[in-house]
Homo-oligomer: A and B are copies of this chain.
């Protein structure tokens, strides 16, 4: 990794950290891009060569999770069905994600509720990820799923889990309870996958 790349990564990180601190102190709307750029010691104009918009600061590694899910699909065992793979992908994504701890993650959860632009962006990211996963899933099980079937299955799975978590998200307190979260996810996946489950890998 060249010096150029390292420097760029460092600046990017500085931007995320500056934004996190400023968001915490002043709030989302009250923090301008100029503020964030200044705190990270770059020109305002330069900000836009790191992030295309303000919302994006809250999703700095949105593709890492997609990659993890795609890997989970690739690592499937010989007797796993599509549902088993989706469950494993969900588990892997849930594990190595700092989704419930960390300052940025806390802000993200809060702003997804409060700031329409952020919620919109989060939904877009999720939808895109879902499509990507569905495409890989169809490719991994060509004899069991076609494009539409894979999309429907993935959509049902992601939709169920997301909607269940949304209920918990409605009042924040319950999200602090990992057991409640796990239970909700468990029930959602049951709802979505009941007819598909082979029980493998559980």
Interface set of A (CB-CB < 8 Å, partner B): 116-117, 119-121, 123-124, 127, 130-131, 134, 147-149, 151-164, 166-168, 184, 187-188, 191-192, 194-195
Contacts of A117 in B (CB 8 A): 120
Number of copies: 2
Q: How far is the CA of A154 from the CA of B192 in the complex (A)?
A: 10
Q: What are 28 sample pairs from A and B whose C-beta atoms fall under 8 A apart?
A: A119-B124, A119-B127, A120-B120, A120-B124, A123-B127, A127-B166, A131-B166, A134-B167, A147-B167, A148-B168, A149-B187, A149-B191, A151-B163, A151-B188, A152-B160, A152-B161, A152-B187, A152-B191, A153-B160, A153-B191, A154-B163, A155-B166, A156-B156, A156-B160, A156-B191, A192-B192, A194-B194, A194-B195
A138 to chain B, nearest CB (A): 10
- For A127, give the chain B residue with the smallest CB separation: B123
Q: Which one of B123, B156, B159, B184 contacts A124 once the chains associate, using CB atoms below 8 Å? A: B123
- Helix, strand, loop or mixed for chain A's interface? helix
- Provide the bound-state CA to CA distance between A191 and B192, in Å: 9
- A151 (CB) vs chain B CBs: closest residue: B163
Cβ-neighbour of A163 out of B119, B134, B184 (below 8 A) = B134
Contact B148 A187 (CB under 8 A): yes
With contacts A116-B124, A124-B116, A124-B123 known, is A155 near B160, CB below 8 A? yes
Q: A127-B123, A148-B188, A195-B195 are in contact. Are A163 and B155 (CB under 8 A)?
A: yes
Query: Quick one: closest B residue to A120, CB to CB?
Result: B120
| Chain B residue at smallest Cβ distance from A134 | B163
| A192 contacts across to B, CB distance below 8 A | 152, 156, 192
Complex alpha-carbon distance, A124 and B162, angstroms: 13
**Which B residues are in CB contact (< 8 Å) with A164?**
148, 151-152, 155
